[in-house]
Structure 1
Amino acid sequence: MKKRFLLASVALCAGFAAQAAEPTFDMQRFSGDIRTLSSDAFEGRAPASAGEVKTVDFLIQRMKEAGLEPGGPQGANGVRSWTQDVPLLKSDITGAPSLSLTVNGKAKALSQGKEIAVRAALTGDTAVSLKDVPLVFVGYGVKAPERDWDDFKGVDLRGKIMVVLVNDPDFEGPAGRFGGKAMTYYGRWTYKFEEAARQGAIGTLIVHETDAASYGWATVASSNTNTMFDIVRDKPRSAHSPLEGWIQRDVAVELFKASGLDFEKLRVAARSADFQPVALKATLDAAYQVKPETIISKNVLGRIAGTLHADETVIYSAHWDHLGVGAPDARGDRIFNGAVDNASGTAALLELARAYKAAPAPTRSVLFLAVTAEEKGLLGSSYYAANPVWPLARTVGVLNMDSVISPGPAKDFTISGQAKLDLLDLLIAEGAKRQRTYTPDPKVEAGGFFRSDHFPFAKQGVPAISYGAGDDLIEGGKAAGKAWGDAYVKAKYHQQADEWSPDWNLEGTRQDLGLLYAVGRNLADSRIWPNWSQEAEFRAIRDASAAERQ
């Protein structure tokens, strides 16, 4: 960051603080909104479900009550809508999949959700029928010419299934061509499925390892064995293979052993650019029916028009969706309520909107954007970024909120993943005024930067971050914060147990809302145009649109 800009940012933040009083947040109302959105009546808020209809209606009603105006596309009559249509391919496996591995002539049935988790095909196919398909281990499944890295070495994967590791080659080793422990986009499962399609593979199996993935098998199973969604594509096979799934680590170890291979040694070998693909002495059979259909989901948009620069927009965003209804857990519960993830961020969006309406109107416009299908691959935010209602060149910045509940007030705060941009400088400067410090994402290996709804905006050059509550708690310090986060990921994240609680300590969230309000309001009342650092991969895209901000 340029020192001159940071000093200007601090001065502007201080000027704003003198002009506007700290907003009041009603945390009982905030908690009540979470309780409603995560109730069983909303059926886990899956896109294309009765739960979506209830969620969208609820959000529109709350935005109307807050005094917002519709922020969606204009109709033929010139009137703006509260929603933006998001066309999606919806795909379900019908019935129980038949899945088995054959090694050295011996077949072993695999149980869906227990040993393997295959997703409903997103190719538009109505069935997946694979017989004796060879498996090839291709390390991390990465082809990165700019890093002089190619895990495929010219191997023909057509008609084959590639077996790959989670994350990218620097995850466990010293910093190399992928910059160290922080995950690059090459480490994301979305990339691996995309690359399999480019390689012509008929399928992909990702070997699940908890540390490398940053979540356990329960999360994999619940996230991948229910309804799948994708954006509508002209050529879906350009982005997806018919079979996409994950296998348990123990299954992989036994598979490699039966093929006369040592899984651990090959994991180590895969960290080297010299790694060569290895054919396994095994084949996979898979048979299941798929029901694909095109549906229209909804992004919900409420807006406050700026008094002087209404064509310039500050965006607060949060995803309203969760996983819907799935297989029962040990308690017999089938509803993935998604209270923390992300009824909390959605409720925060509403509470911030109320705070803005209670204050004088900002000089720039502020958009409160609740997006769909984040859980299926950031689809709602990706659609908006590709089809913006309000021009991205004149979008000042994006403050995204995902899972904002914390265990209590903290001395610090964070953002998802690593990023260098002026928007973070503003956040740090405002946090310092509140005696809160910025702590870089402690789990950069989890690829958080690529897993939240700010990322599609970043790819289009818009300065964007996803805010994270701090872990250094005023009561209990870092140990207490880490314990709370670890327990949530293990027992609740993407599981039925993510439910509303009357026992939450919401004082930390109140402080987070105050910080987010101040930074957004600073932008909305200023002439600042934040940018990325000079070395950031998104800088060139932002700079290319500079003329539109004159």
Structure 2
Amino acid sequence: MTRFAASLLSLSITLALSPALAASPADAPTFDPQRISDMVKTLSSDAFEGRGPATAGEQKTIEYVVAQMQVAGLQPGGDLADGKRAWTQAVPLLRAQISGEPTLSVDTGGKSQPLAQGEQVAIRAAMDGSKSVEITDAPIVFVGYGVTAPERDWDDFKGVDLKGKIALVLVNDPDFETGDGDFGGKAMTYYGRWTYKYEEAARQGATGMLVIHETEPASYGWATVKNSNTNTMFDVVRETPSDTHPQMEGWIQRDFAAQLFKDAGLDFETLKKQAQSRDFKPVELKGETFSAKYAVDSKVITSYNIVGRLEGSERPDETVVYSAHWDHLGVGEPDAKGDRIYNGAVDNATGTAALIEMGRAFAQADRKPERSLVFLNVTAEEKGLLGSEYYASRPLYPLGKTVAVINMDALDPHGPARDFSTSGSAKQDLLDELVETAKQWDLRYATDSKPEAGYFFRSDHFPFAKRGVPAVSFGSGEDLVDGGVAAGRAAAEEYTANRYHQPADQWEAGWTFTGMARDLQLLYTVGSELANSDRWPNWDQASEFRAARDATAGDRK
């Protein structure tokens, strides 16, 4: 349901693509909207309990997806044991949750104010390995956007000592407000992501960090923040987790944060403006402190990626990957109606159903692909792309011989659109081929309507991209055949406000899935062309991912 953009199709790539390479729409298989709907309905039913990792819902999801992959004609492509592949890849994760209700408060001028979890703040379970957190009267320091970027001559910390202190930080980049500056204008860089900000807080020695929530720069409302951060947390298992996580991580509501600034004799908007300059210096909220006390139940658990495969007929060691995440938020805090199950119909039962159907289409094709195809259904995307990060760091099939990754996440279950999008705007051959192939369906590539949201860093293609593998995450179009851009944009905004990461993301009988069925024809055609060729897409010469790809060039000789 998100909207993205990329560069215009490069002329050189356009001319290099032979018309003979692209299958006509008549040659693409058809995808059954009813079967897609049935799968989404099943996966997002209450019986699957929101598909939380390491829950009964995960086991039910694995059993269902594996059964569907088997019926579709795929072979197991997961972990190798005794010469045989399993249907899954084991993914060890650190699971942590706050035990009971945390005791939270701020002290202003000697007067203590209790804070309610999920109301003024949303505190995450400690991911630094702590079994308990006890912070007493920690000073609060505003550190702007929390960015250290030597290549941009930018340092928001200026040597401030944050030991024993709580850092307050703005979400997104310093360029967000003006659209102009050293961080790419409106398009978010990785420095704008909250994941980076927590990592930097740990590197700076802060005891904790609170990200100030504002809907526009975050690209989602407080309900999403609360639901995503007050339930069970996961991370990949790290040797020294405190190198990546401060002891306390969380979010704070904008209006409450602004009041804290005011009570300290400061103006929030004035300081936010100052933070947009490299001359900004950290500011302590004098006379105010933060306290927190809570126990943490943490242990290492094993979740699973689900992996189906079709072996290539001529070059089986070369792999095209289709991916989607199966997980959602599980069972969490109740909404206004008392519903506690976060069903995740659009996000991402749609992508999982699409993955199964894509596997079926290739398995039932008239000929086997020359290269192998992997259908990767990853875990823990909602916890920080952890399943795809684990696969990319410990690939079952070498990344140097992975041709491309085509990710499918939160596809539109309604009717067809006249356009499509991808997460982010990274220039690469794979995107050019997608854009060119789409013309067979008279589909145009949409410009990015919200580059500040940083979607490129929020989908499962990113762990592959940062290791050099050409990768895109497909997004449904916004210019609907029935209703145009106005209807498409309204539907997207309604979903983000009222359904995204909320129990209301449920299957609906009125969904036609006809647009999704058409889009899968496009994605099939692109993958088929790559699987039956000897081409190796790459990133643009100026891309930050090009060097990592070129470093594995020897694997492709």
Given that 1:137 and 1:277 are in contact with CA atoms closer than 8 Å, whether structure 2 keeps it comes out as yes
Equivalence for 1:364: 371
Structure 2 match to 1:430: 437
Residue correspondences, number: 547
Contact 1:412–1:437 (CA under 8 A) maintained in structure 2: yes
Name the residue aligned to 1:545: 552
Contact 2:73 2:364 in 1 (8 A): no
Within the candidate set 492, 514, 519, 1:507 is matched to: 514
User: Could you say which residue in structure 2 is the equivalent of 1:30?
Assistant: 36
**Which residue in 2 is equivalent to 1:396?**
403
1:265 aligns with 2:264: no
Structure 2 counterpart of 1:4, from 4, 12, 17:
12
The residue number in structure 2 matching 1:249 is 254
| Secondary structure of the structure 1 residue equivalent to 2:534 | coil
CA RMSD of superposed structures (Å): 1.1
Aligned to 1:234, the other structure's residue is in SS state coil
1:118-197 to structure 2, matched below 5 A, reads 118-197=123-202
User: Which AA in structure 1 matches 2:462?
Assistant: F
Match of 1:240 among 245, 248, 257: 245
Matches within 5 A, 1:471-490: 471-490=478-497
Distance 1:220 1:449 in 2: 19
TM-fit CA distance, 1:122:
0.6
Q: What is the Cα deviation at residue 409 of structure 1?
A: 1.1
Q: Report matched runs for 1:393-472 at 5 Å.
A: 393-472=400-479
The alpha carbon displacement at 1:434 in A equals 1.0
Say if 2:31 and 2:518, in contact at 8 Å, map to a contact too. no
Question: What's the CA shift for 1:10?
Answer: 4.8
Counterpart amino acid of 1:457? F
Aligned to 1:40: 46
d(CA) in 2 for partners of 1:533, 1:63:
35
Query: What corresponds to 1:314 in structure 2?
Result: 320
Aligned mates of 1:9, 1:450 — CA distance in 2: 29
CA contact (8 A) 1:90 1:228 kept: yes
Aligned match of 2:6: none
TM-score with structure 1 length normalisation?
Answer: 0.98
Q: Which amino acid aligns with 2:16?
A: A
Q: Distance in 2 between matches of 1:124 and 1:364?
A: 43
Matches of 1:414 and 1:59 in 2, distance apart?
A: 27
Equivalent pair of 2:33/2:512 in contact (CA under 8 Å): no
Q: Is contact 1:10–1:430 with CA below 8 Å preserved after alignment?
A: no
Q: How far apart are residue 72 of structure 1 and its match?
A: 1.1
SS of the aligned residue for 1:153 comes to: coil
Bigger mean CA offset, 436-445 vs 282-291: 436-445
Contact in 1 for aligned 2:10/2:432 (Cα 8 Å): no
Residue type of the partner of 2:117?
Q
CA displacement at 1:406 relative to structure 2: 4.2
Task: Report if aligned partners of 1:120, 1:228 keep a CA contact under 8 Å in 2.
Answer: yes
* Alpha-carbon distance, 1:107 to partner: 1.0
Structure 1 unmatched runs, 5+ = none
Q: 1:336 aligns with which of 331, 334, 342?
A: 342
Alpha-carbon offset, residue 21 of structure 1: 2.2
The verdict on how the C-alpha distance between 1:105 and 1:387 changes in structure 2, with shifts beyond 3 A counting, is: same
SS at 1:291 equivalent: strand
Distance 2:330 2:537 in 1: 37
> CA offsets, 1:24-70, max 9 Å, x none?
21111111111111111111001010000001111111111111111
State the distance in 2 between where 1:144 and 1:105 align: 37
Contact preservation (8 Å) 1:461, 1:542: yes
2:87 match: 82
Q: Which has the higher contact order (CA 8 A, sep 6+)?
A: 2
The residue type paired with residue 219 of structure 1 is T
Q: In the aligned structure 2, how far is the partner of 1:169 from the partner of 1:260?
A: 23
Q: Which amino acid aligns with 1:502?
A: A
1:48-100 deviation digits (Å, cap 9, x = unpaired)? 1000000111111111111111111210x201111100000000101001100
> 1:453 and 1:174 mapped to 2: Cα distance?
27
Matched residues in 2 for 1:480 and 1:2: separation? 31
Instruction: Note closer, same or farther for the CA distance 1:232–1:458 as it changes in structure 2 (3 Å cut).
Output: same
How far the C-alpha of 1:101 sits from its partner, in A, is 0.6
SS at match of 2:27: coil
- Are residues 1:294 and 2:310 paired? no
**Which letter maps to 1:297?**
S
> 1:272-291 to 2 correspondence within 5 Å?
272-281=277-286, 282-291=288-297
Which residue identity lines up with residue 87 of structure 2 in the other structure? W
Deviation at 1:493, TM superposition (A): 0.1
Question: How far has the Cα of 1:517 moved from its partner?
Answer: 0.6
Deviations 1:446-489 (A, max 9, x none): 00000000000001100001000110111211111100000000
1:133–1:159 Cα contact (<8 Å) kept: yes
1:377 aligns with 2:393: no
What's 2:333 paired with? 327
Distance 1:136 1:212 in 2: 21
Mean Cα displacement is larger for which, 400-409 or 193-202? 400-409
Q: Shift of residue 121 of structure 1?
A: 0.4
CA distance in 1, matches of 2:15, 2:364: 30
Residue 498 of structure 2 is aligned with which of 491, 494, 513? 491
Unaligned residue ranges in structure 2 (runs of 5+): 1-8
Shift of 1:11: 2.8
Q: 1:104 aligns with which of 105, 109, 115?
A: 109
CA contact (8 A) 2:346 2:413 kept: no
- Alpha-carbon distance in structure 2 between the residues aligned to 1:163 and 1:147: 22
- More off after superposition, 474-483 vs 493-502: 474-483
- Whole-Å separation in 2 of the counterparts to 1:475 and 1:264: 42
Distance 2:402 2:275 in 1: 41
State the distance in 1 between where 2:111 and 2:255 align.
18
Q: Conserved in 2, the CA contact under 8 Å of 1:12 and 1:522?
A: no
Distance 1:465 1:148 in 2: 31
* Paired residues of 1:224 and 1:245 also in contact (CA < 8 A): yes
Cα deviations across residues 406-452 of structure 1 (Å, max 9, x unaligned)?
Answer: 43211110001121000000100111111010013311100000000
Q: Which amino acid aligns with 1:539?
A: R
Contact 1:74 1:80 in 2 (8 A): yes
In structure 2, the partner of 1:210 is 215
Q: Which amino acid aligns with 1:365?
A: S
% identical aligned pairs: 59
2:371 and 2:258 map into 1 onto residues whose CA distance is 57
Q: What amino acid maps onto 1:279 in structure 2?
A: E
